[in-house]
Amino acid sequence: MLLEQTGFVDVVLSNEVDVFSGSKHESDARDFETRGVTVFARRA
């Protein structure tokens, strides 16, 4: 949403990746369902 409000278009998200499993942050990440992702967007 912020990207589009800024003027970006064609926003695409990659598949999500569980980047915190096995780390010391795993518990917090699980609590908030936190995932890694890569975002593509284009300046209009």
* Furthest CA-CA distance within the chain: 40
1-44 residues in contact with another protein (CB under 8 A) are: 1-3, 5-8, 12-14, 16-17, 19-20, 22-25, 28, 31-44
Q: How far is the CB of 11 from another protein (least distance, A)?
A: 9
Q: How far is the CB of 27 from another protein (least distance, A)?
A: 10
Is 22 in a helix, a strand, or coil?
A: coil
Q: Which residue carries 């949403």 as its tokens?
A: 1
Residues 6+ apart with CB under 8 A from 40: 10, 11, 12, 13, 14
Footprint on this chain of another protein (rule: CB under 8 A): 1-3, 5-8, 12-14, 16-17, 19-20, 22-25, 28, 31-44
